[in-house]
Amino acid sequence: MHAPDGDRLAALAALLADPTRAQMCLALLDGRAWTAGELARHTGVGASTASDHLSRLVGGGLLAQERQGRHRYVRLADTRAAHLVETLAAQAGPAPAGERPRSLRTASADRALARARTCYDHLAGRLGCAVTEAMTHRGLLRQDTGFALTDAGLAWFAEQRIPLPRTGRRPLVRACLDFTERRPHLAGAAGAALCRHALERKWCVPAGTGRALKVTDHGEHLWREALGIDAAALR
């Protein structure tokens, strides 16, 4: 294994040093593949400018791309890239106190993201952190020596009929620093499985076209039953 190289690290950091590229990567935390045109409209830049930015992000290894017909789709390259973007967003912190949101719509969207959202393929925001804290309090998850599911935690996933992968390079559980809550939420293969289960069973549903989620009436009862979470506070 080669020692870390300062030039490569600086090149990686430079990819996210541009606000437009950073905003593109934040948008792609929803786990979907976006077209270049969609990202251009989202960031408010022209098509050729967006294409240049995306080429740099793909070349730097943060994004992966594929073409279908005349459309070019891009997504975050892998879970490591998603973790890097979310962690850097958490380190950047919230907007300075007193800074007014750009619009009422932006303020509403920010509040929705803070309540509940997806972070690539797992739950984040107050919901994601509440799930993580509830699992820890109930002895399903350990955080004292790094994130790890206990035997009771493995049994809980089985009781909820949430299948967990037994092979693969991805960690079963991993801490991901939440950029709005500034505390960890559950990531890794188990976090992805729980998020997928919650969406499939309508414990929560997408709130619009972004990555914000909302807890359903049905889900409010099930979150309380499964983990003792007062999901009404997340409405």
Residues 6+ away with beta carbon under 8 Å from 49 = 20, 40
- Indicate the SS3 state at residue 207: coil
Q: Whole-angstrom Cα distance, residue 201 to residue 192?
A: 14
At residue 222, does pLDDT exceed 60? Answer: yes
Q: Whole-angstrom Cα distance, residue 15 to residue 10?
A: 9
Predicted local confidence at residue 64, as pLDDT: 93
Residues 6+ away with beta carbon under 8 Å from 19 = none
At residue 227, does pLDDT exceed 80? Answer: yes
Q: Whole-angstrom Cα distance, residue 21 to residue 36?
A: 12
pLDDT tens digit string along 189-221?
A: 999 999 999 999 999 999 876 789 999 999 999
Whether pTM exceeds 0.85: no
Tell me the CATH architecture of domain 6-77: Orthogonal Bundle (1.10)
pLDDT tens digit string along 40-86?
A: 999 999 999 999 999 999 999 999 998 877 778 899 988 889 889 88
Residue 122's beta-bridge partner residues?
A: 119
pLDDT tens digit string along 122-166?
A: 999 999 999 999 999 999 999 988 899 999 999 999 999 999 987
Written as six digits, the tokens of 146 are 């790094």
Residues of the chain with CATH 1.10.10.10: 6-77
